[in-house]
């Protein structure tokens, strides 16, 4: 990959690099400074999770995904906003803080102690997503055990294997059926045969989990980050990402360091029926890569439609190291994704892919009511001229409308919050935790989803920056 000189990196990307500095201050809920309009009918808590510590006791982490996670939360009530942020105290981080030194590696960072690296032992930074059901809140990892969090204080309660239901590890994403209220998530387990199995879990409204089914994947498969949900199916795509296991097992490398992209293997589609006995239809299609689904739905002819932010290749392990994120290089030379529509035909064991919009987009969200249905709007992050914008993309026409927060303000993934009694997919607000590079602080931007082109109607500002987050949710209340 061609090296970039500093002069070739746009100012906007160099400025964004400051967002990847370690969190300077943790605190409980405190009043935030507001600007513009904070709608009084906007009630609830906006949660975000992401890497927050990029070094520990002077020892830097290699990759953005390796940093110890922190939950940030913003509580909206009667036109006022309170904010809090706390690092998630995983057992490994607690052990390191007591020892006063780094003990473990993470996904791409090799640990300092050989004996703690063997058999792929690594820290679970629990820094990807948030799962909220009822009065329960979890910090979600990518391939690890979730950590229970107190939703009122953000203090860490500890690892939670979902009452013993969890089979080794969960992945980060979850999906909720808007009619039944059932929430689904998934995870992987590594077998003695050095193969992996996919596990599917369901949660009722109280947060009680049950294991639905297991699917042997064959070979050591990684990167099942997200899935899609329809009325009939859970939709997974396993991409040809493999890991050379021997260096990891013997502690010679970090767990994710020897990941390999094997495009000749193709991408495997797995359709898992939601109803028992959870039959699985699986087949391969032309290779692509993705992190995130936007939505999916069933058609009357038996086909399945799913919209996905698709990449031609996988390069995140290479370009998203901390050094490149801070310099801005990562954003310039990284692979670009677009919104593609994949039509899956279980009867013919075939998948066809076409591009809805050629804009560079990722981190898609929709109105909750749109999930599992034929729909119109998706709200992704969109990149134009080396700047990130909040977008509203019409999947039926391909039209795009953008919300510009300002030249030096960079949004994160948005959450859609419907108005009381909302009837339309854009009848509500978009909330995003944005970074202001000029003032080196973070705040929540509020946009009217029906008039996103007007930009933010209101802001709630913290006094410090929150390192760039990944995923989260909004909990009404």
- For residues 349 and 330, give the distance between their C-alpha atoms in angstroms, rounded to a whole number: 37
Tokens linked to 88: 């998630």
- Which are the contacts of 393, defined by CB distance < 8 A and separation ≥ 6? 339, 356, 357, 359, 361, 377, 378, 379, 380, 382, 399, 400
CB 206 within 8 Å of CB 181: no
Residue 3 has pLDDT above 60, yes or no: no
The pTM score is 0.94
Question: Does residue 172 belong to any structural domain of this protein?
Answer: yes
Q: What pLDDT is recorded for position 6?
A: 58
Q: What is the CATH number of the domain that holds 130?
A: 2.120.10.30
Query: Mean per-residue pLDDT for 164-169?
Result: 89
If one compares 344 and 115, the residue with the highest pLDDT of the two is 344
If one compares 399 and 191, the residue with the highest pLDDT of the two is 399
Q: What pLDDT is recorded for position 222?
A: 65
Question: Does residue 206 belong to any structural domain of this protein?
Answer: yes
Backbone angles phi, psi at 14, to 5 degrees: -65, -40
pLDDT-derived band of residue 221, with 50, 70 and 90 as boundaries? low
Query: Mean per-residue pLDDT for 76-83?
Result: 97
What's 1's DSSP letter? -
Residue 436 has pLDDT above 70, yes or no: yes
- For residues 244 and 256, give the distance between their C-alpha atoms in angstroms, rounded to a whole number: 9
Give how many domains the chain has, as a whole number: 1
Residue 261 has pLDDT above 90, yes or no: no
pLDDT-derived band of residue 254, with 50, 70 and 90 as boundaries? confident
Q: How much is the mean pLDDT over the chain?
A: 92
pLDDT-derived band of residue 270, with 50, 70 and 90 as boundaries? very high
Query: Mean per-residue pLDDT for 73-102?
Result: 97
Q: What pLDDT is recorded for position 4?
A: 56
Residue 291 has pLDDT above 80, yes or no: yes
Question: Does residue 1 belong to any structural domain of this protein?
Answer: no
Residue 193 has pLDDT above 50, yes or no: yes
Question: Angle at the Cα of 254 (from 69 to 217), degrees rounded to 5?
Answer: 90
Question: Does residue 165 belong to any structural domain of this protein?
Answer: yes
pLDDT tens-digit series, residues 276-287: 999 999 999 999
Q: What pLDDT is recorded for position 241?
A: 83
pLDDT tens-digit series, residues 347-371: 999 999 999 988 999 999 999 999 9
- Beta strand residue intervals within 191-275, DSSP E: 196-203, 209-216, 228-229, 233-238, 241-243, 259-261, 267-273
Residue 302 has pLDDT above 50, yes or no: yes
Domain boundaries, position 103:
6-476
- Percentage of the chain with pLDDT > 90? 76
Residue 268 has pLDDT above 60, yes or no: yes
Q: What pLDDT is recorded for position 1?
A: 44
If one compares 247 and 428, the residue with the highest pLDDT of the two is 428
pLDDT tens-digit series, residues 442-464: 999 999 999 999 999 999 999 99
Question: Does residue 142 belong to any structural domain of this protein?
Answer: yes
pLDDT-derived band of residue 163, with 50, 70 and 90 as boundaries? confident
Q: Give the lowest-confidence range in 156-170, 255-269, 390-404.
A: 255-269
């Amino acid at each position: 990959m061609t090296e970039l000189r500093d002069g070739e990196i746009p100012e906007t990307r160099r400025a964004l690099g400051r967002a990847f500095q370690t969190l300077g201050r943790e605190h409980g809920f405190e009043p935030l400074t507001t600007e513009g309009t904070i709608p009084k009918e906007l009630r609830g808590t906006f949660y975000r999770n992401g890497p927050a510590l990029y070094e520990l006791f002077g020892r830097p982490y290699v990759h953005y995904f390796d940093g110890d996670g922190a939950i940030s939360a913003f509580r909206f009530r009667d036109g006022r906003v309170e904010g809090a942020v706390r690092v998630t105290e995983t057992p490994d981080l607690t052990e390191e803080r007591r020892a006063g030194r780094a003990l473990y590696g993470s996904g791409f960072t090799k640990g300092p102690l050989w004996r703690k690296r063997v058999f792929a032992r690594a820290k679970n930074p629990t820094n990807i997503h948030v799962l909220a059901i009822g009065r329960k809140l979890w910090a979600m990892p990518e391939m690890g055990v979730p950590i229970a969090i107190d939703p009122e204080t953000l203090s860490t309660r500890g690892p939670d294997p979902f009452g013993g239901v969890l089979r080794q590890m969960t992945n980060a994403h979850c999906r909720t059926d808007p009619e039944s209220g059932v929430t689904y998530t998934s995870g992987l387990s590594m077998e003695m045969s050095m193969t992996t199995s996919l596990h599917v879990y369901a949660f009722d409204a109280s947060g009680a989990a049950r294991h639905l089914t297991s699917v042997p994947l064959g070979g050591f498969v990684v990167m099942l980050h997200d899935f899609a949900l329809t009325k009939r199916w859970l939709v997974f795509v396993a991409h040809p990402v493999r890991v050379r296991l021997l260096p990891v097992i013997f502690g010679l490398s970090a767990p994710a360091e020897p990941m390999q992209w094997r495009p000749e293997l193709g991408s495997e589609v797995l359709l898992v029926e939601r109803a028992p006995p959870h039959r699985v239809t699986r087949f391969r299609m032309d290779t692509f890569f993705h992190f995130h689904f936007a939505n999916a739905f069933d058609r009357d002819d038996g086909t399945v439609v799913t919209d996905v932010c698709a990449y031609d290749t996988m390069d995140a392990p290479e370009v998203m190291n901390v050094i490149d994120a801070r310099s801005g290089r990562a954003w310039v030379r990284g692979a670009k994704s677009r919104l593609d529509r994949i039509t899956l035909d279980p009867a013919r064991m075939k998948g066809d892919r076409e591009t809805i919009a050629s804009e560079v987009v990722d981190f898609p969200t929709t109105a909750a009511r749109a999930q599992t249905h034929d729909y119109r709007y998706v709200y992704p992050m969109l990149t134009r001229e080396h700047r990130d914008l909040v977008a509203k993309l019409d999947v039926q026409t391909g039209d795009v409308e953008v919300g510009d927060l300002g030249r030096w303000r960079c949004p994160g993934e948005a959450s859609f919050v419907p108005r009381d009694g909302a009837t339309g997919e854009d009848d509500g607000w978009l909330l995003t935790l944005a970074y202001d590079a000029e003032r080196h602080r973070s705040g929540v931007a509020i946009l009217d989803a029906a008039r996103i082109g007007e930009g933010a109607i209101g802001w709630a500002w913290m006094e410090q920056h929150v390192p760039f987050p990944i995923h989260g949710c909004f909990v009404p209340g």
